[in-house]
């Protein structure tokens, strides 16, 4: 699992490889990679992880393309857009408050995506 380390690496422009697991901590890096638009860096076995690591280490053009994709996506996806995240969370709070004022019970909410900042 990686949590902050994976987030920091992605923000710094370093592609992160992960082997997804079954527990929450073992799935965090995969969630981060999905959020930044790099699901191709998620593997499902240690063998696949090793194959991908070796391939990227020996194929500099492929690694460079992933770095470029990350650099582009990093500034356009919600993962690192703190202002948009805060607005989205505020909208969720507003929706909860509106339900409360209407006397409705708590329920799952779907907040529509917001434009980037």
Tokens of 23: 């527990």
Based on the domain organization, do 72 and 89 belong to the same domain? no
The CA-atom distances, in angstroms, between 85 and each of 25, 41, 77 are: 22, 24, 11
The CATH number that applies at residue 15 is 3.40.50.2000
pTM over 0.85: no
**The predicted structure's pLDDT at residue 4:** 92
Q: Which domain holds residue 85?
A: 81-117
64 & 52 share domain: yes
The reply to whether 109 and 72 lie within a common domain is no
Do 89 and 48 fall into the same domain? Answer: no
- pLDDT of res. 1: 62
* pLDDT computed for residue 32 by the predictor: 96
Ranges in the chain, pLDDT < 70: 1, 117
Give residue-wise pLDDT tens across range 34-48. 999 999 999 999 999
Are residues 49 and 72 located together in one domain of the fold?
A: yes
Position 99 scores a pLDDT of 98
> Within a 10 A sphere around the Cβ of 114, how many other Cβ atoms?
15
Within this chain, do residues 48 and 14 fall inside the same structural domain, yes or no?
Answer: yes
Output the pLDDT for position 113.
86
């Amino acid at each position: 699992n990686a949590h902050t380390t994976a987030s920091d690496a992605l923000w710094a422009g370093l592609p992160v490889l992960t082997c997804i697991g079954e527990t929450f901590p073992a799935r965090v890096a995969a969630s981060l990679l999905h959020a930044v638009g790099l699901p191709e860096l998620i593997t499902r076995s240690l063998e696949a992880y090793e194959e991908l690591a070796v391939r990227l280490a020996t194929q500099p053009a492929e690694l460079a393309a992933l770095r470029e994709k990350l650099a582009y996506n990093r500034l356009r996806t919600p993962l690192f857009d703190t202002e948009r995240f805060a607005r989205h969370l505020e909208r969720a709070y507003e929706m909860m408050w509106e339900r409360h004022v209407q006397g409705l019970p708590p329920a799952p909410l779907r907040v529509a995506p917001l434009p980037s900042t």
